[in-house]
Chain A
């Protein structure tokens, strides 16, 4: 039974991280109908930023809590500025081009960023400092749920609640929903759509950076390539839940995380990705619009 609970928590932790990334995919898709394949790279850059800042700060002997906060803020700000810039450079000029063009542009951006980090940093795995200590109060259940898992779960829940609040109740959230429903009409009621799109990229990238920081300190090492697989997994999760739907992205991520965790635990860790992507294939065959997605009839 302990083993089951351990797998359950490890699945929820994974799922939370996927959710932080998947939200960026789904929000961008909801607003401009683009699969932002460079989003995984934003997450990777977030992890690297946190790594660099945390390393420098620990050399100067900052206390752990200060390191976590400063590295977190740095990662969010830096990744958001990447997200913002990518949209301006690679997607905005293609706003009125056929749908395939920005998609190709996104893939190009993804390859570019991977290689940029490869050249600017290193191709080796870097040991990521442990930013989250073992809490004494977690001692009795530490063999089931680690302190890092707890921090990841709590952080994710807080971030989700904050995001829901922003989208539901604030003006920028309303502008986002309006833009995703009818872009032309949104401009006609005076919404600056470019600003709304920028805001979406900034928020999505910030979330991915938080995910990057958390997972890096959980796994303990980073590499220029981590964004690729994480991006594909999060994309799978977003499609699973119904791309464009925010609760869908969270649900899809949790299902994917749990599937992977149980597959690893009860079958073999070699089959982790097989299960994850089989799930994607099944969903695409039986419910192409995703679990919470709207069915749309595309006219041919």
Chain B
């Protein structure tokens, strides 16, 4: 029995003027997997994230999302970012983008926004359904904060959190949208070794609960220990894919990172 991958990207191409930032890229993520996307700076990794989350409109290519358990395939082509989030992709950013003037709890509650119905009339008339919904949001948000270990910070402003905790909060906010696939853009960037270890545990824990994760990361130790599969990009093209072991030995990857060996 073959199962559909959760995320299936084929032939993704993105041109900025005359520059081809992504060149017919294929990538897929299966349910429950941790997949890493690596490559030298400027390879187009973040552009790839921006394309699949609807921030950029790709020049060509198809993006399909399939809910696990035989759900129907959903095309993400041409959707706006909030619609993409609603369908089940959530992401974090390379440089932290929290709502810094809101509390930690509110940041997570905001993530529940797309899973709720109440709007302006509910806000004004406070009917029973709205109140129940808000109670539900509060409980779920607390549970997520517990999971990432930020429950004691709940009423702190996001900007007052230490760096590592802000990263965790970004992940918590993304989890609050109940994504089918979680996209992490360099979650370990700027972290000290201790924080990185904490992050590794967190990602493993989330993954154990069945969450599929696609990860951009430069910290090779982290990538090798977390990933089930790795995709390697350079100059907008995929140059290799495989298990961590295969990638480590792949000559094309070594060439991209270290340059070509000079024959004497």
Contact = CB atoms under 8 A, between A and B. Distances in A.
Q: Is this pair of chains taken from one and the same complex?
A: yes
Interface of A: 162, 166, 170-175, 177-178, 181-182, 184-193, 195, 199, 202-203
Given A177-B102, A188-B53, A191-B113, A171 B97 contact: no
Contact of A171 (B80, B116, B176): B116
B111 interface: yes
B80 A191 contact: no
B60 interface: no
Interface stretch (B38-46, B81-89, B211-219): B81-89
Interface string B67-105: 000000000000011100110001101000101111000
A178 B102 contact: yes
A172 B137 CA distance: 13
Contacts of A182: 97, 99
A199 B123 CA distance: 11
Nearest to B113: A191
Contacts of B119: 172, 195, 199
Contact of A187 (B80, B115, B122): B80
Contacts of B133: 171
Contacts of A172: 118-120, 122-123
Nearest to B124: A166
B99 A175 contact: no
Contacts of A188: 53, 55, 81-82, 85, 90-91
Contacts of B101: 177, 181
A190 B113 contact: yes
Contact of B118 (A171, A177, A185, A195): A171
B22 interface: no
Contacts of B177: 189-190
A190 B86 contact: yes
Nearest to B126: A170
B174 interface: yes
Band of interface residues on B: 35 or more
B170 to A, nearest CB: 10
Given A184-B81, A189-B110, A171 B100 contact: no
A99 to B, nearest CB: 21
Contacts of A174: 102, 106, 109-110, 113
B173 interface: yes
Contacts of A193: 82
Interface in B164-216: 173-174, 176-177
14 contacts: A166-B123, A171-B134, A172-B119, A177-B102, A177-B106, A184-B81, A185-B93, A185-B97, A186-B110, A189-B85, A189-B174, A190-B85, A199-B120, A202-B120
A178 B91 CA distance: 16
A170 B112 CA distance: 12
A193 B101 CA distance: 18
Interface string B113-139: 111101110111000000001100100
Query: Which 8 interchain pairs have the tightest Cβ spacing?
Result: A190-B114, A190-B85, A187-B81, A170-B123, A187-B82, A185-B97, A172-B123, A199-B120
Contacts of B137: 171
A184 B123 contact: no
Most chain A beta carbons < 10 A, residue from B106, B113, B115: B113
A110 B38 CA distance: 53
A203 B121 CA distance: 11
B99 A171 contact: no
Nearest to B93: A185
B123 to A, nearest CB: 4
B100 A181 contact: yes
